[in-house]
Homo-oligomer: A and B are copies of this chain.
Amino acid sequence: MLRFGYDIGGTNIAAGVIDENNRLIAKDSVKFPRGEGTEAVIVACEALYRKILEQAGIPGNEIAGVGVAVPGSVSPETGVVIDAHNLGFHHTPLAAMLSDKLNKSVNLINDADAATLAEHRIGSLQGSRTAMLITIGTGIGGGLILNGELFRGGRGNGTEPGHMVLRNGGRHCSCGIDGCAETYCSATRLGKDGAAFGKASAKDVIEAARQGNEEALNLFRQYIDDFGSYIASIINLLDPERIAIGGGVSGAGSFLLDPLRKDVERKCFFETCPEIVVASAGNDAGIVGAGLIA
């Protein structure tokens, strides 16, 4: 049987079909109907479902179930999105609403958890029993694999690794804490600090550092020191086998990974350091992860 996954973001709704081997065999996306209300989102989701199946020539009865990844907190048991600010969902019974339209059972998952699940099944966390995905973007997202399974938080709230404190009393984070990891290790931080010397994005800062620009190199070194301490914190607490780095910054490849590994090795309390790898499930990880829980 096939499964259908949605990755609903504040900009686009992406969706697709995965086969028995967890491979994405059809996909498409539409703009998120921002500000038009929940019903408009459901309508857009239904239209996208029909379009993808039609384009790929897949009959509806071949779809065993549907999974939906959203950027926010969900209750998997009740199928309710508790809070997803970017989507305007608050205590929204999304699973039931969508199930009504599609005549399929619908499961919900947080988008970072979906990406982690995909990374564990088809990406660079395959085979790990204890591992973490850290996604570096505007903020920091991520998810944990514990005892070979996705860990949804001890109370079901998931994980918010960007709001571990890295420099207590430091930069103010939107969550209210001064010094969150997010304010030092996100791509946003590189862009913000890089603006002082005319490089206003993480990509530009890294490119300038690569070319030997002194200011960019200094910032990049400080970033590695912060990022390394952040990863070491997680390692020293959980002793994982592997950590995967995702998001745009991970595109810097060995220019980032080599010094980062060296920094973490120095700060890791244990005799040997876990593997630090680039996430490989790609941009469709959210769709695949959603499909996996369908």
Contacts and interface: CB of A to CB of B under 8 A. Distances in A.
Contacts of A230: 165, 168
B239 A165 contact: no
Given A241-B155, A269-B175, A164 B236 contact: yes
Nearest to A152: B239
Nearest to A268: B163
A237 B270 contact: no
Given A160-B236, A161-B236, A177-B229, A168 B155 contact: no
Interface in A264-281: 266-267, 269-272, 274
A156 B239 contact: yes
B163 A166 contact: no
Interface in A219-278: 225-226, 229-230, 232-234, 236-241, 266-267, 269-272, 274
B237 A164 contact: yes
B155 A239 contact: yes
B169 A154 contact: no
Interface in A129-171: 129-131, 144, 146-147, 151, 153-161, 163-170
A184 interface: yes
A160 B229 contact: no
A226 B165 CA distance: 10
Contacts of A175: 269
A33 interface: no
A9 interface: no
Contact of A237 (B161, B167, B226, B232): B161
Interface in A165-186: 165-170, 175-177, 179, 184
Contact of A167 (B169, B266, B272): B169
A177 B225 CA distance: 10
A132 to B, nearest CB: 9
A240 B146 CA distance: 14
Give the top 8 A-B pairs by smallest Cβ distance, nearest first.
A130-B154, A153-B239, A164-B233, A165-B229, A163-B236, A154-B240, A168-B229, A157-B239
20 contacts: A130-B155, A131-B154, A146-B146, A146-B147, A147-B147, A154-B239, A155-B272, A156-B239, A157-B271, A160-B270, A163-B236, A163-B269, A164-B164, A164-B236, A164-B237, A165-B267, A166-B168, A177-B229, A177-B232, A233-B233
